[in-house]
């Protein structure tokens, strides 16, 4: 018995020294390295997936504090501008009484559209060309050539400003065919209003008209601009800015006024 006890104890020690028993209390170095490497790989893969899948979220999270500060501490100019913009949109929507057939003045939409056509660029350019062909006086040709120049400048300036601003109207109304021809597809500034203001100022300065005709000419320009608000194509500020740009265009044409000799030379080339 005393000899068998040391043998059994040696067997027990050999059994406990095996890897499967040692791993219960003291993990092997190989297992530790494999587990740590798998954890690192999984963490790296997760980090890479997070970076690849959510780049926008990371940018937004980085920008959120600055945006929150801007929203919580707006400037006085920003508050004033947003307030005026909200008032402009609200008033323009209320005045859009002919925006569609279901509006309060929907039955008068056709008449308002006809009034807007009187301030369109295509009819005015066509009429100016016809009058220029039939005109036989030097003074008349000079005035008509400069009027044609003013109309072309108005179309180009308004189209360029609209492309820069890209402001849409208060209602979702698709532009007509004539609007696409003159590139009058956006709201700011109102092309009809600028053209009406420029034409009325041009005629008041270069045509001899009676006082009633002068009053009617000014009223026509105002009605053309206001009609664009009624059909929902422009805001109030779009029309007011159109009037201002129309006056500036008239002043520009006065500065680059073509003389009679220049007009005759251009007519002869044409």
Q: Determine if the pTM surpasses 0.75.
A: no
Average pLDDT, the chain: 79
Residue of 149, 160, 141, 142 lying closest to 125 (CA atoms): 149
Omega before residue 189 within 30° of 0, cis: yes
Please report the pLDDT score of residue 224 as a whole number.
94
User: Residue 130 above 90 pLDDT?
Assistant: yes
For the chain, give the percent of residues with pLDDT over 70: 73
The mean pLDDT of 212-226, rounded to a whole number, is: 94
Are residues 190 and 228 in contact, defined by beta-carbon separation less than 8 angstroms? yes
User: Residue 212 above 70 pLDDT?
Assistant: yes
Euclidean distance between CA atoms 252 and 255, whole angstroms: 5
192 is catalytic: yes
Check 120, 206, 234, 235 and give the catalytic one: 234
The three-class DSSP label of residue 265 is helix
Residues 29-58 have pLDDT tens digits of 445 545 555 555 555 545 445 455 455 555
User: Residue 102 above 50 pLDDT?
Assistant: yes
Please report the pLDDT score of residue 88 as a whole number.
85
120 is catalytic: no
* Segment among 72-76, 99-103, 219-223 with least mean pLDDT: 72-76
Question: Where do the domains of the chain lie?
Answer: 107-269
Euclidean distance between CA atoms 243 and 222, whole angstroms: 9
Euclidean distance between CA atoms 150 and 147, whole angstroms: 5
């Amino acid at each position: 018995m005393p000899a068998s006890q040391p043998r059994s104890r040696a067997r027990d020690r050999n059994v406990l020294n095996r890897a499967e028993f040692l791993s219960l209390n003291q993990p092997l170095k190989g297992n530790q390295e494999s587990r740590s490497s798998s954890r690192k790989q999984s963490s790296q893969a997760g980090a890479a997936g997070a970076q690849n899948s959510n780049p926008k979220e990371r940018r937004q999270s980085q920008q959120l504090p600055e945006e929150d500060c801007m929203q919580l501490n707006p400037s006085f100019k920003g508050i004033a501008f947003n307030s005026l913009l909200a008032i402009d949109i609200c008033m323009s929507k209320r005045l859009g009484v002919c925006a569609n057939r279901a509006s309060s003045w929907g039955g008068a939409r056709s008449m308002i559209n006809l009034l807007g056509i009187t301030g369109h660029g295509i009819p005015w350019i066509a009429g100016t060309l016809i009058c220029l062909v039939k005109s036989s006086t030097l003074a008349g040709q000079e005035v008509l050539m400069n009027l044609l120049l003013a109309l072309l400048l108005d179309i180009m300036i308004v189209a360029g400003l609209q492309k820069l601003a890209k402001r849409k109207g208060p209602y979702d109304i698709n532009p007509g065919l004539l609007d696409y021809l003159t590139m009058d597809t956006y709201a700011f500034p109102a092309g009809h209003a600028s053209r009406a203001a420029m034409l009325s100022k041009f005629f008041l300065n270069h045509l001899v008209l009676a006082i009633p005709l002068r009053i009617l000419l000014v009223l026509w320009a105002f009605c053309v601009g206001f009609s664009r608000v009624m059909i929902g194509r422009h805001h109030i500020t779009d029309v007011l800015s159109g009037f201002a740009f129309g006056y500036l265009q008239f002043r520009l044409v006065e500065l680059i006024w073509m003389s009679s000799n220049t007009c005759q030379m251009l007519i002869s080339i044409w």
